[in-house]
Structure 1
Amino acid sequence: MIRPRRLPSVLLGIAVFFLICSPQGAAMAFFSKKEVVVGSPMEGVLSYKGKPASGAQLRRHLRWKDETGVTDTVVADQNGHFSLPAVTDSWRPLLPAEFVAHQKVYVEYQGEEYLIWTMGKMDESLYGELGGKPNDLICEITGELARVEVDHGMLGTVCRWSSIDR
C-alpha cells in the first residue's frame, strides 16, 4: 500500500515514465485531444439479386468508446445508390492505447434485414478501413459475407470494389 505522503511522488514517476518511454511528442499527445475517423464515408450501389435495391434502408452502427455507439441511416435512391458521411470523434488517451472501432452495416429491404459489412477498424485515419478510398463499391445484399484481407483490422463484407485510391 502506498502511503498518502508518497502518492504525489508515485504519480510524478508514472507521468515521467510515459513522457520518456512514449514515442513522438509524448508530452503533446499526453495532454491533447486526438481526432479519429470512426467510420469513413461510404458511397456505392446496393443490389438485390442483381437489380438495384431501390428504397433499401442502409443502417451503419459504429461503436468505439462505449457499448451504445452511434447509428446513421440513409435510403438508397431508385438506382440503389447510397452515400454515408464520415463519422469523426476526438479522444484524449491518458495511457498508451490502441484505437479500435466496431462497424456494422445492415440493409433492410422488402421486410428482411441483411448484414453487409462487419469490421474491427484499427486505423484511425480517413479510409483506414481499406487503406484507401474504394472505387465502384457494389454491395449485393443477398451475397455471402466474405473475409477480406486488410492491413489494419478484420473485414467481412458482401461488397466489392474495382480499385482502391491510396
Structure 2
Amino acid sequence: MLSINRFPILIGVLLVLVISEVSAGMFGFAKKTEVHLSPEVNGIVMLNGKPVAGAQVVRTLDYDQEYREETITGENGAFHFPEKNIKSSRPNKLLDETRVRQIVTVNFQGEKYLLWYATPGTIHWRTGIANRLASMRCELSAPEIEQGFENIEKPQFPHSTFSVCRWDNE
C-alpha cells in the first residue's frame, strides 16, 4: 500500500515527466531534422596515370551512427555514390555538438588508400565540399596530403581534407 507521505512525491515525479514530454514536443527536442551527410560523389581512381578497374571503394559517413556503402570502380576507374541525407532528432538536443565525418577509401592490391577525410563542421550542404566530391581525380601513387580549400558559405572557416586525390583548380 502506498503511504500518504509518498503520494505527493509520486505526483510530483509524474508531473515533471509529463511537463518535460510536452515541452520536448513544444520546443522541438523530439522533432527530427534533415541532416546532410554527404553530397553526390564522383571520382576516378588511377595508378601511374592508368585507370584502376575493379577496386573496392568504401564511403563511411558518421553522425548518430555509421553509414557505410561500397562500390567497385568501372573499366575507366570511375566510381559514384549518391547524395546521403538522414532525419535525426540529435540536432535538437541541448548542448549537442555531434559532427558529420566523411571518409572515402579505396582498397586495391591489398592496400588501403585515403581518397577523402573531412569533418564539414555542419549538418548543412557546403558548396565547396560538394564541388570537390563531384570531381575527384585520385592517383594512388600520389602522396596523401592535407589540402585546404574555400568554405563558400563561411569563408572565415576554410575546409580541409586529407587525400591522395587532386582537383583541377590546383
* TM-score when normalising by structure 2: 0.70
**For each residue in 1:17-52, what CA deviation from the matched residue of structure 2 results, as whole angstroms up to 9, or x when unmatched?**
x9xxxxxxx93x434211111122110211111111
1:22 matched residue in structure 2 = none
1:155 matched residue in structure 2 = 161
Measure how far apart 1:98 and its partner are. 3.2
CA distance in 2, matches of 1:161, 1:90: 31
AA at the equivalent of 2:168: S
* TM-score when normalising by structure 1: 0.71
CA distance in 1, matches of 2:145, 2:81: 22
Change (3 A) 1:129 1:98: farther
AA at the equivalent of 1:155: T
Alignment of 1:111 with 2:110, yes or no, is: yes
What secondary structure is seen at the aligned counterpart in 1 of 2:117?
Answer: strand
**Greater helix share, structure number:** 2
Contact 1:99–1:124 (Cα < 8 Å) also in 2: no
Contact 2:39–2:130 (Cα < 8 Å) also in 1: no
1:56 matched residue in structure 2 = 55
Aligned residues: 148
Percent identical pairs in the alignment equals 24
Instruction: Flag structure 1 segments of 5+ consecutive residues without an equivalent.
Output: 19-25
**For each residue in 1:100-138, what CA deviation from the matched residue of structure 2 results, as whole angstroms up to 9, or x when unmatched?**
122222111123222222222322223x27344235420
Q: Quick check: which has more Rg, 1 or 2? A: 2
Contact 1:137–1:162 (Cα < 8 Å) also in 2: no
Instruction: Flag structure 2 segments of 5+ consecutive residues without an equivalent.
Output: 1-8, 152-156
Find 1:79's aligned residue among 76, 91, 108: 76
CA distance in 2, matches of 1:91, 1:100: 13
Matches within 5 A, 1:21-60: 27=27, 29-60=28-59
Change (3 A) 1:60 1:131: closer
The two structures, once aligned, show a CA RMSD in angstroms of 3.1
AA at the equivalent of 1:146: I
Measure how far apart 1:6 and its partner are. 8.5
What secondary structure is seen at the aligned counterpart in 1 of 2:97?
Answer: coil
**Greater strand share, structure number:** 1
Contact 1:38–1:101 (Cα < 8 Å) also in 2: yes
